Chain A
Amino acid sequence: MSKIASLNELSKLKNKFGPLIQIRQENEKTIITNTDVIDNSFKIHVLACGGTGCQSSESELIVRVFQRELEKRGLANQVKVITTGCFGFCEQGPILKIHPDNVFYIQVSSKDVEEIIDEHLIKGQVVERLLYVEPIHQEKLKTDLPFYNRQLRIALRNCGLIAPEDIREYIALDGYQALGQVLTEHKPEDIIDTIKKSGLRGRGGGGFPTGVKWELTRKSAADQKFIVCNADEGDPGAFMDRSILEGDPHSVLEAMAIAGYVIGASKGYVYIRAEYPLAIKRLQIAIKEAREYGLLGGSILGSEFSFDVELKYGAGAFVCGEETALIHSIEGKRGEPTVKPPFPAENGLWGKPTSVNNVETFANIPPIILKGADWFANIGTEKSKGTKVFALAGKVNNVGLVEVPMGTTLREIIFDIGGGTKENKRFKSAQTGGPSGGCIPAHYLDIPIDYESLASIGSMMGSGGLIVMDEDDCMVNVAKFFLEFTVDESCGRCTACRVGTKRLHEILTKITEGKGTLEDLDKLERLALIIKDTSLCGLGQSAPNPILSTLEYFRDEYLAHILDKKCSAKVCSNLVEYDITDLCCGCTLCARNCPQNCISGSPRNKHVIDNNRCIKCGVCLDNCRFDAVIRK
């Protein structure tokens, strides 16, 4: 491949590569008529989800079996099997989509492949048993799943649609057009204006206006500047950044180059977690391809602008997601945050002005440039524009990635898109913002969510993790879980954060063990406020949020632990008791398995647990085949 020398050449390539993805585009009205076409011979495209979730459940094997079986039947030149990034519908993976029929198969296994080929691809008959069954009307759906219908995909526009390891498919879908236009037709100031007008705010958690950040970095005078893409994604339960990098790496690279042009940087870094091997691999391939096509490297698209991207790996420290810590980590140092100001925009990587932006923030840039600031600003709420990707997980039916306009309610996300709670249990709380966020109770389900509304109810947007909890989750224990996380991850610089979070965790442990007092609640509150006020970075400042929000909305649970010594969710093992009911037929199984030998009873007679010696391991409950053992 020779390097693309101009925007014009890029557009010609776009037409040339169009047929690669043509049959995947649902409303394809513009049939590309070009003599220089490639790849037109494939009549059918089979898209296989190749995100981390689906790969864990053998999507790679499915692709291999598909190829083998197609070859056996002499169909390999008519059917193309494409590994895409994450479809987002992770609960139902592995997922396959067949085009042009636009049929969506779920929970596919390698054993289903032959049937799909023989019935669907050859005879044209849909394999009904692999369709998604809509839970309310029990209707089998081939396409138009409610999970997708209510979404608006901007950042995820190409995920599950294109082959992330083939730059041609990205180019065919307007890829690098925004960069081309920016370099050929716009001054950096114009782009700053566009991004400011669009209202785009950082998706990494803080919600700082991206256009303003770029403007500040542009205005800092220096011989060298840097663009950094924050792909550290530390919130345990968020996976949108990883999915974007796995499914559409070029969109991030393109946006980084645009940002480089705008602020005056020739070098960019992606700081990515070492725990994301697939995203790393896809990024490496994308960078190599972009260089070969002249879309990264020297004089991009024939302009005077040069920009290249290098990967830097994290090493398992949550605090490195904080931008100053991240910068230290790129420099090869301990990832400890430093006081702001100075902000990275003035004094960042190696002391040079640096713009740190999140993966999802970047993924929004090309569409904003191609479709205009007004288009973007028309989506969302007054102060939060555009869409947000949420990683919906926990006790919800449709775990997956969901992109919705800002201002969508939690109810729509969890119940309409997410399909409600698992096993129809009672919804208790939605946790947003990860370890820095809070637990939102049911009476706020109808609040339109954006940066401000979440903050006003004691949580935050964070990176977009959204964990659903039901009646079986103990909110004191949840708070303890998050504190365990912050105790582990505090970098130790500030005493309040280092020692304070330990104390909070100890008090929570005491309460969950049934040894808490009412004074402990006051102590929790007081200490939480001190830590918030005196910590240097966002980690410490927000670490008490899970406690403060649960204390506010689920105080009754704290009180039950303290006063009644009861855990209503039956999670805290010290506060539950095991008992054997009259359903017991005396099979002796529990007694034989009890590690404490504290179950007595003779065969065929009801057994009894000696609760003084019981260690509440739950083995008896798990083992009993007659549902005779209960937890109370």
Chain B
Amino acid sequence: MSCKNVIVEEKFSELEHFIDELPDKQGDLIAVLHKAQEIFGYLPEEVQLRIADKLDVPSAKVSGVVSFYSFFTMKPRGKHVVNVCTGTACYVRGAEKLLNELNKHFAIKPGETTKDGEFTLDALRCVGACGLAPVMIVDGKVYGRLKPEQVKGILANYR
């Protein structure tokens, strides 16, 4: 077994251990998917199949659930995730301009990842920090009351 496979197998056994501990396996599909995405970073087909197998549900059901919820992604994410809040409060305080600036900066659209795999850009619905609108969230850290010109400087810290 190659080194990479060992790592992947370790991840799978972590996931399977999590599933074994669950009281009600089938009703907990969404919790399992949350866990799997936490472990693997995304939910490729291979992971979905293993989950279907382990929970004893049709794989079509698993992929149906994955595709329904926007939180789940089948594409690998970048090393850093840059989110722009597009809730109503941020929208009226200029979120669109932030997003445009980021589109330009990375040359990608929301939902995409830069070619070097460093950054994923995404739009989020209201993180509830409306007092700080408009906000950008990089790897969970919130930057508030942002002007488009500030974006470049902040992102430089993540290079």
Chain A contact residues, CB within 8 Å of chain B:
52-53, 56-57, 90-93, 234-239, 242-243, 274-276, 312-318, 329-336, 350, 391, 393-395, 399-400, 431, 434, 465, 467-469, 473, 478, 481-482, 485, 488, 491, 622
1/0 contact trace for B130-157 toward A, CB 8 Å? Answer: 1111010000011010001100000000
Please report which residues of chain B, range 38-79, place their CB below 8 angstroms from some CB of chain A when the two chains form the complex: 61, 64-65, 68-72
Q: Is B82 part of the binding interface, using a Cβ–Cβ cutoff of 8 Å?
A: no
Name the distance in Å between B101's Cβ and chain A's nearest Cβ: 10
B81 interfacial by beta-carbon distance below 8 Å: no
User: Counting CB contacts under 8 A, is B88 at the interface?
Assistant: yes
Return the contact of A317 from the options B26, B29, B68, B88 (Cβ within 8 A): B68
- In the complex, the answer to whether A393 meets B144 with C-beta atoms within 8 Å is no
Chain B: minimal CB distance from A623 (Å) = 9
B135 touches A90 (CB 8 A): no
B30 and A90 contacting across the interface, CB-CB below 8 Å:
no
Q: A53 and B88 in contact (CB under 8 A), knowing A315-B33, A332-B29?
A: no
A274, A350, A400, A481: the one contacting B91 at CB < 8 Å is A481
**Contact with A312, one of B31, B71, B127, B133 (Cβ below 8 angstroms):** B31
Contact of B144 among A57, A312, A468 (CB under 8 A): A57
Q: Do A236 and B126 touch (CB < 8 A)?
A: yes
- Contact (A399, B91) CB under 8 Å given A91-B131, A312-B30: no
A275→B70 CA distance, assembly (Å)? 12
B89 at interface by CB-CB < 8 Å: yes
In contact, B92 and A313 (Cβ under 8 angstroms): no
Contact assessment for B71 and A467 in the assembled complex, using a CB-CB cutoff below 8 Å:
no
Q: Which partner residue on chain A sits nearest B131 by CB separation?
A: A90
Q: List chain B residues, Cβ under 8 A from A481.
A: 88, 91
In-complex Cβ contact of B31 among A57, A313, A336 (8 A): A313
Q: How far is the CA of A467 from the CA of B90 in the complex (A)?
A: 10
A237 & B87 in contact (Cβ 8 Å cutoff):
yes
List 6 tightest A-B contacts by C-beta distance, closest first: A90-B131, A315-B69, A236-B87, A56-B142, A239-B128, A393-B89
Complex interface: chain B residues within 8 A of A393 (CB):
88-89, 130-131, 133
CB pair A330 B130 closer than 8 Å:
no
B129 contacts chain A at the CB level, 8 A cutoff: yes
A239 in contact with B126 (CB, 8 Å):
yes
Which residues of chain B have C-beta atoms less than 8 A from A335's C-beta?
68-69
Q: Which of B66-117 contact A (CB under 8 A)?
A: 68-72, 86-89, 91-93
Q: Which residues of B contact A239 (CB under 8 A)?
A: 126, 128, 130
A92, A236, A274, A395: residue with the most chain B Cβ atoms closer than 10 Å? A236
Residues of B within 8 A of A333 (CB): 29, 61, 65
Q: Which of B29, B87, B131, B149 has the most CB of A within 10 A?
A: B131
Q: Indicate which residue in B34, B61, B144 contacts A313 across the interface (CB closer than 8 Å).
A: B34
A400 adjacent to B88 (CB under 8 Å)? no
Q: Which residues of B contact A92 (CB under 8 A)?
A: 131
| Other-chain residue from B27, B65, B132 in contact with A53 (beta carbon distance below 8 A) | B132
21 A/B residue pairs, CB under 8 Å, sorted by A: A52-B127, A56-B135, A90-B130, A234-B125, A235-B126, A236-B86, A239-B128, A243-B128, A312-B30, A313-B30, A316-B69, A317-B68, A329-B30, A330-B27, A333-B29, A393-B133, A394-B88, A399-B130, A399-B131, A399-B133, A482-B88
Please classify how large the interface on chain B is, using the bins under 10, 10 to 19, 20 to 34, 35 or more.
35 or more
- A316, A331, A332, A465: the one contacting B88 at CB < 8 Å is A465
- Chain B residue nearest to A310 (CB atoms) is B23
With A53-B131, A391-B130 known, 19 other A-B pairs at CB within 8 A are A53-B130, A57-B142, A236-B125, A237-B130, A239-B126, A239-B128, A242-B128, A332-B26, A333-B29, A333-B65, A336-B68, A350-B27, A393-B89, A393-B130, A393-B131, A394-B88, A394-B133, A467-B89, A488-B70
For B70, list chain A residues within 8 Å (CB): 315-317, 488
How many Å lie between the Cα of A239 and that of B86 in the bound state? 14
**B31 and A236 within 8 A (CB):** no
* Interchain nearest-CB distance for A315 vs B (Å): 4
B34's partner among A315, A317, A329, A330 (CB-CB below 8 A) is A315
Q: Is B69 a contact partner of A317 (Cβ separation < 8 A)?
A: yes
A330→B93 CA distance, assembly (Å): 35
**Docked-complex contact A394 and B144, CB < 8 angstroms:** no
Nearest chain B residue, comparing its CB with the CB of A422: B93
Q: Tell me whether B10 is interfacial, beta carbon within 8 Å.
A: no
Quick check: A622 and B135 within 8 Å, CB to CB? no
B118 proximal to A (CB < 8 A): no
Residues of A within 8 A of B142 (CB): 56-57
Q: Kindly list chain B residues whose C-beta atoms are within 8 Å of the C-beta of A330.
A: 27
Distance A275 CA – B26 CA, assembled complex (angstroms): 23
Provide the bound-state CA to CA distance between A316 and B131, in Å.
22
Contact A57 B30 (CB under 8 A): no
Q: Which residues of B contact A318 (CB under 8 A)?
A: 125
Q: Is the CB–CB distance between A334 and B130 below 8 Å?
A: no
Q: Which residues of A contact B144 (CB under 8 A)?
A: 56-57
A315→B34 CA distance, assembly (Å): 8
Contact B26 A238 (CB under 8 A): no
Cβ A315 vs Cβ B72 within 8 A: yes
Residues of B near A236 (CB, < 8 A) are: 86-89, 125-126
CB of A372 to closest CB in B, whole Å: 33
A394 and B89 within 8 A (CB): yes
Question: Could you tell me the distance between the alpha carbons of A473 and B87 in the complex, rounded to whole angstroms?
Answer: 15
Q: Across the interface, do A395 and B30 meet the contact criterion of CB distance under 8 Å? A: no
Q: How far is the CA of A239 from the CA of B126 in the complex (A)?
A: 9
Q: Once the chains are docked, how many angstroms separate the CA of A314 from the CA of B135?
A: 22
B14 sits at the interface (CB 8 A)? no
Separation of A183 and B130 alpha carbons in the complex (Å): 40
Residues of A within 8 A of B9 (CB): none
Residue of chain A at shortest CB distance from B57: A332
